[in-house]
Each structure stands twice: as C-alpha cells, then as structure tokens.
Amino acid sequence: MFRGNLNAYSDEETQNAFDRINERTDGLLKITTVPHGTLPIKGPDQLRAVSAGELEMCLGQGDYHSGDFPPFGITNVGFLAHNQLDKAKLAESCRPIFEKELNKMNVHILAYQPYAANGFWTVDDIEDITDMTGIKLRAQAKIFTNIVEAMNGVPVYVEWPETYTALQRGLVKGVFTGFDSTTSAKLQEVAPYAHNIGLSALLPFIVVNNEKWNELPLDIQLIVTEELMYSMMKVQAYVPQNLSDEVQKQLAAGLKKYNSEPPAGWFDLMNEKVTIPSLQEEVEKNGALGQEILTVIEEALGRKVI
C-alpha cells in the first residue's frame, strides 16, 4: 500500500490493522506500507497506479487524486465541512456514489480514514494570517493552493519528506498539515508558530485494486474489513483530543506560540474566496454526477452550501 507518510495517529492505527490482518491470516495476507520517495510513483499518481494494478492499495484522498477521480474534488473543498461531525456526514453520504464510480476504475473502497483538523505553522510570528502577501507557503494540493491564494500568498508544491528542509532553508515560510503530523515530523522546530484555522477537510479512503480484492477468499475479505473498521473507529474516537494533545507535545519541543482562534474575518474570507467558488467549479466539472453529489451533501449537512 502506498501512503503519503506514516507519522500520524491515524497512520499508526492503520498499520496496526495491517499487522493484525497478517496475524489473523497466519501470514497469508501481508500489507506492506511504502512511503513517499521509495517508489518512482508520485503522490497524485497513486490512484491511477492502483486502478492499473501497478499498486495494490493506496490512500485515495481529495483533490490530491481528483485529476483521476473528479468527485474527490467536491468533498475536499476547503471549509465545506464546518467540523468533524460534518466530515463524517460527508463521508457516509458520499461513499455509495464513490464506490459505484470507483468500481468503474477497477478500484474498491475498503474504509474511510478519519483525519483530525489541519492547522497552519509559520516560520515567523504572524498575527494576521489573512494577509500573507508575497510569502511562499507549501501547497501540496489544490485545496491549499486556493487557501494560499486567498491569503495573497505564493503557493509552492513541496513533497512531504522535503517539508522540514524547505522550512529550514526558507524555501517556504509556512505549512498546512495535521497536528500529529507536525509533531512526528518535528516541524515546530523550524516553524514554531502554530495557528488553528478551523479546517476540517480531507476525506481519505483506503482503496484497493478491485481485481486483487476479488481474488481474496471471502473469509479473508471479512478479516480485512473487520480490522480496518475497528482501527478507524479508534481513530475517530481520538480525533477530538488530537489537537490539544499535539499542541502540548509541540510546546514542549520547540513551539513558541499557538493561536487557538483564527483572526477576525478568516472564515468570511475563506467562504468567499475558497468554499463557494471552488465548490461551484468542482460541481460543474462533474456534470450530472456533481449535482447528484451536491444534493446528497446538502441533505446530509442539512444546509445549502452554494
């Protein structure tokens, strides 16, 4: 299975599930994690590689893979979900549609992997992050490119393994990522100012090549499903505590300041510059399927989103 990294609680629990699967199947099924930089396949190409059978599994997520599966671009629009409950509703309501469409690509969904909220870390102490004019910021996917541009910053693509060095050398002055990912990668050492930006995005699904999945006996498929479901429930239960736990770890390891609330006008700016235009674009890109997904989302959230 190809993954972006293996340094967050959600990643650790997924690996724990893989280990239990190996044990329960007496070694018949061993899922090996292959992080970035060890295979000649870039992140955005992972889903395509799974579809073609070049990789057995990957973490299919958001607009990171929407070039090959455009519906992912809809659910990954920044600030569409207002909180973790919204994210869970989005995943549950859209999964049947995603399963049907991904199956046409020879891809099968195994599980939804919850992610905690994303934060923003900067090299310098910046009070008002709504104005980052001319400052280079890591933007590893379209959602972050849109956010950076709304802040008047300069988006720069940086692969995860290169992020620490890029911050250290001043190639970028800020990074968006998960709180536990920052702790594990020690990014607070080179970007010691943290900001809560209220971003509950990223709906990753653990996916597998459909032909490979169908080759497994039904009892093995059941074990895989059970173990992944169990681990994902643990991840979801930990999400509310994730942010505060990780901030405390970072404060003890180099973080100088944590802004627990976004600056005034942040959410209005993001809604105007990111959520509405991005959602309109992604829905239109998906045509009739996009309208179907939009209807399902609004029913699940109980509100209009455009």
Closest by CA position to 273, among listed 122, 141, 145 = 145
Give CA angle at 300 (296, 303), nearest 5°: 100
> Is pTM, for the whole model, over 0.75?
yes
pLDDT tens-digit profile, the chain (306 residues): 655 555 577 888 999 999 999 999 999 999 988 776 677 888 788 899 999 999 999 988 876 688 899 999 999 898 999 888 898 899 999 999 999 999 999 999 999 988 888 999 999 999 899 999 999 999 988 889 999 999 999 999 999 999 999 999 999 999 999 898 899 999 999 999 999 999 987 788 999 999 999 999 999 999 999 999 999 999 888 888 888 999 999 999 999 999 999 999 999 999 999 999 999 999 999 999 999 999 999 999 999 998
Domains 9-116+201-245 and 118-200+249-301 share a fold: yes
- Say yes or no: domain 9-116+201-245 is CATH 3.90.550.50: no
Give the CA distances from residue 39 to residues 11, 18, 54, 72, 158, in Å, rounded to whole numbers and listed in that order.
Answer: 19, 20, 11, 24, 17
Fold of 118-200+249-301: D-Maltodextrin-Binding Protein; domain 2 (3.40.190)
Instruction: Sketch the domain layout of the chain as residue ranges.
Output: 9-116+201-245, 118-200+249-301
**Could you give the count of Cα atoms lying within 13 Å of 32 in the half-sphere of its Cβ?**
6
